Amino acid sequence: MPDSPQAEVAVDESPEARIGRLEEELAGLKDKLMRQAAEFQNYRRRTDQEKDQMMDFGKLLVVQQLLDVIDDFRRSLDAAENVGDNPDPETLPEAFKSLHTGVAMVYGKLLGELAKLGVEQIDAVGKPFDEGEHEALMSQPAEDGQEPGQVVSEIQTGYRMGDRVIRHARVVVTA
């Protein structure tokens, strides 16, 4: 094998020159390894971020689908509390009261589970109108003590998940 290029380099090269060349080669390989390690670290960080974003997006889609169900629960409870012209809940049949209590418990549990996911209702009534959280469906003249642009009633509850509004509160605002 004395005819190979490595053998020629090794024969023609002084020990100091060979050490210098090998040190340069080693430094180059170390640099390449460090760059690949940094690139891999960035890749892992990026994929972890993407995974978290996908999870948040999936939660958001499910929560958005549940908002109408939550509204239906609330309307059912409101209707049950105003049965007919009878405002006295003491005169209602016991089975109806039990059903109402059960539905209220399920509604509360559903809201509790959504809260664990970071979902919260947007408080609107009595606050200044904020287009980032509210959608004005109607306006009415301001009464005594009310400022123009104040939310006076809520037609549909709004929700946020963390810092993100997932449904604006639909409101009535003073003019």
Whichever domain contains 123, its CATH number is 2.30.22.10
Taking a C-beta distance cutoff of 8 angstroms, is the pair 169, 134 a contact? Answer: yes
Total count of domains within the chain: 1
CB neighbours (10 Å) of residue 39?
10
Instruction: Classify residue 142: in a domain, yes or no.
Output: yes
In angstroms, how far is the first alpha carbon of the chain from the final one? 96
- 45 lies in some domain: no
Residue type present at position 10: A
Q: Contact, 66 vs 114, CB < 8 A?
A: yes
Domain that holds residue 169: 118-175
- 34-47 pLDDT tens trace: 999 999 999 999 99
How far is it, in rounded angstroms, from Cα 15 to Cα 11?
10
- pTM of the entire predicted model: 0.67
Amino acid occupying residue 110: L
Give residue-wise pLDDT tens across range 104-117.
Answer: 999 999 999 999 99
- The answer to the question of residue 108 being in a domain is no
Answer whether residue 148 is part of any domain.
yes
